[in-house]
Amino acid sequence: MVNQSSVRSLVNKPALNTDKPLLQIRNVTKKFGEFVAVNNVDLNIYAGELFCLLGGSGCGKSTLLRMLAGFETPSSGQILIDGKDMSGVPPYQRPTNMMFQNYALFPHMSVERNIAFGLEQDGIHKSEIKDRTHNMLRLVELQGYEKRRPNQLSGGQRQRVALARALVKEPKLLLLDEPLGALDKKLREHTQFELMNIQEKVGVTFVVVTHDQEEAMVLATRIAVMDKGQFIQIGSPTEIYEYPENRFVANFIGSANIFEGTILENNNNSLKIATELGEITLEQSSALGVGASVFLGVRPEKISISKDPSASTDGYTTSGVVEDIGYLGNTSRYKIRLDQGTLVDVTAQNHLRPQNRTHAFSWEEKVTLRWDASNIMLLKK
């Protein structure tokens, strides 16, 4: 079902100890009445990872996170943190802390007291609480804001208080529910990097829930793409983007041109596939037999577009006309109607400034498209 081979790529990173997973999710299912929110998921997360659970709303990612924090109890299955079974352990005894979606700062307490709250529960000495609170404020660059109440802070500052409050107890596992969701776009981009830096500095394992694929790509060491309560694919951002296993992932992360095909021949490490674009040969192995229907995907930026039909004949070449142009500044998106009728998305960098202040291509212009067979992704349904 889910390919665990993707973990292998992490073995090369010295920081990760893959012998002993920090978090083990074993066949966990959560039902609300008849509705299955999380359906039999299985996952290991290793110390030092920044793991993203990515999916649309209602895919079960938040429910899974809440089960890790102890706010929901699995209907079946087991969650182990650092080898210890968490069933029956209430939230206040778990070695996890959570950063909530809208921060959930205590409005009747100052910034300082918000951060100190967790330490106070453990009966830590006052002077140590003060030190650690102060250190956290420095880490998130909020010195001088100790006495303010949360509603006297901007959105970005609140986000940092929430992070400090969740980190101050030095949890084994930090759970972040849409940590950047409430920030505007510019601030979000800046904060993504800040979050990664802080994670590296404190060395705490992060599990982040997000619906924003760009956020997941930037932050994560590994991503689990979720849909309908199940993991569709688990892998590094590159694996997920460049080697999606199926149509859903290819479409959910970025966009892809997808063509239907049937396998004509399957010789070792070479597949011949019949598609609406003609016969395509892929240099890869597959367990699928002759006659099986598959999907082929090509990312829009991996197709080159040119006005010159006579250029090299490497890879797959076809021609069509420009039907629509979306100008984004750094790139442009084209919709090209191929001669045999299929509509294809193409993205091209605008690396030359047009001297006549017009676009590189115009509507109804005849163009040649080219892509290399190695860029074709073989997708399961």
Partner 1 sequence: MNQGRSTFLTVMLYIGLTFLYVPMILLVIYSFNYSKLVPVWGGWSTRWYKVLFESPEVWEAVRLSLQIALVNATVATMLGTFAGLAMVRFGRFRGRTLFGGMLVAPLVMPEVITGLSLLVFFISLKELFGWPAERGFTTITIAHITFSLAYVAVIIQARLTGIGETLEEAAADLGAKPFKVMTSITLPRLAPGMLSGWLLAFTLSLDDLVIASFVTGPGANTLPILIFSRIRLGLRPDINALATIIILFVAVLVAIAAYIMFRQHKRELLDQQMALSGGD
Residues making contact with partner 1 (CB under 8 A): 69-71, 90-93, 96-98, 100, 102, 104-108, 117-118, 121-122, 145, 148-149, 151-157, 165, 169, 187
Q: For residue 368, what are the CA distances in angstroms to 101, 305, 311, 337?
A: 47, 6, 9, 11
Stated as kind and residue range, the H or E segment containing 10 is helix 8-11
Provide φ and ψ at 370, rounded to 5°: -145, 135
Distances (CA, A) of 5 to 78, 97, 234: 22, 29, 9
Q: Min. distance of Cβ 141 from partner 1 in angstroms?
A: 9
CA dihedral 372, 255, 251, 238 (to 10 degrees): 70
Tell the smallest beta-carbon distance from residue 36 to partner 1 (Å): 20
- Nearer to partner 1 (CB atom), residue 97 or residue 246: 97
Q: Is residue 335 a contact partner of residue 347, using CB atoms and an 8 Å limit?
A: no
Nearer to partner 1, 71 or 193 (CB): 71
Q: Which of 80, 39, 79 shows the shortest CA–CA distance to 61?
A: 39
| Residue 58: CB minimum distance to partner 1, A | 19
Question: Least separation, in Å, of the C-beta of 45 and partner 1?
Answer: 18
Shorter beta-carbon distance to partner 1: residue 208 or 234: 208
Beta-ladder partners of 298: 257
Please state the closest distance from residue 110 (CB atom) to partner 1, in A: 12
Closest approach, Cβ 92 to partner 1, in A, equals: 5
User: In the complex with partner 1, which residue's Cβ is closer, 182 or 187?
Assistant: 187
Complex with partner 1: residue 108 or 381, whichever CB lies closer:
108
* DSSP-assigned letters across all residues of 82-133: TTEE-TT--GGGSSEEEE-TT----TTS-HHHHHHHHHHHTT--HHHHHHHH
Residue with smaller CB distance to partner 1, 102 or 197? 102
